[in-house]
Amino acid sequence: MSRRYFGTDGIRGRVGSAPITPNLVLTLGYAAGTVLARRGAGQERPVVIVGKDTRISGYMIESALEAGLSAAGVDVILLGPMPTPAVAYLVRALRLQAGVMISASHNPYDDNGIKFFSADGMKLPDSVELEIEALLDQPWSCRESAELGHVRRMNDAAGRYIEFCKSTFPSNLDLKGLKLVVDCAHGATYHIAPLVFHELGAEVIAIGNTPNGLNINDHCGATHVDALCHAVKEKQAHLGIALDGDGDRLVMVDSEGQSYDGDQLLYAVVKHRQRQPGFAGGVVGTVMTNLAVEKAFERRRIPFARAKVGDRYVLEMMLERGWLWGGESSGHLICRDKHTTGDGIISALQVLAALVSQGVSLPNYIAEVKLYPQRLINVRVAAPVDLTAAQGVQQVVVAAEQDLAGRGRVLLRASGTEPLIRVMVEGEDSVQVDRWAEALATAVTELAG
Using pLDDT thresholds of 50, 70 and 90, give the confidence band for residue 406.
confident
Which pLDDT value is given to residue 35?
A: 93
Which pLDDT value is given to residue 198?
A: 98
Cβ-in-10-Å burial (0-12, 13-18, 19+) of 236 comes to: exposed
Q: What is the pLDDT of residues 354-370, one digit of tens each?
A: 999 999 999 999 999 99
- For the entire predicted model, the pTM comes to 0.91
Helix (H), strand (E) at residue 422: strand 420-427
Catalytic residue (one of 57, 105, 118, 329): 105
Using pLDDT thresholds of 50, 70 and 90, give the confidence band for residue 56.
very high
Q: 91 — phi, psi (to 5°)?
A: -65, -35
- Report helix, strand or coil for 380: strand
Q: What is the pLDDT of residues 72-82, one digit of tens each?
A: 999 999 999 99
Contact 30, 72 (CB under 8 A): yes
Domains of the chain: 11-155 (3.40.120.10), 161-365 (3.40.120.10), 374-448 (3.30.310.50)
Q: What is the pLDDT of residues 68-119, one digit of tens each?
A: 999 999 999 999 999 999 999 999 999 999 999 999 999 999 999 999 999 9
Which pLDDT value is given to residue 126?
A: 83
95 conformational bin, left if phi > 0, alpha if psi -120 to 50, beta if neither: left
Contacts of 141 (CB under 8 A, 6+ apart): none
User: Is 141 part of the annotated catalytic residue set?
Assistant: no
Residue 418 has pLDDT above 90, yes or no: no
Cβ-in-10-Å burial (0-12, 13-18, 19+) of 439 comes to: middle
Cα–Cα distance between 265 and 333 in angstroms, integer?
Answer: 8
Cα–Cα distance between 362 and 293 in angstroms, integer?
Answer: 15
Mean pLDDT estimate for the chain: 94
Share of the chain above pLDDT 90, in %: 84
Share of the chain above pLDDT 70, in %: 98
Q: 48 — phi, psi (to 5°)?
A: -125, 140
Q: What is the pLDDT of residues 250-293, one digit of tens each?
A: 999 999 999 999 999 999 999 999 999 999 999 999 999 999 99
Q: 51 — phi, psi (to 5°)?
A: -115, 170
Contacts of 14 (CB under 8 A, 6+ apart): 20, 110, 111
Cα–Cα distance between 4 and 27 in angstroms, integer?
Answer: 15
Which pLDDT value is given to residue 211?
A: 98
Cβ-in-10-Å burial (0-12, 13-18, 19+) of 230 comes to: middle
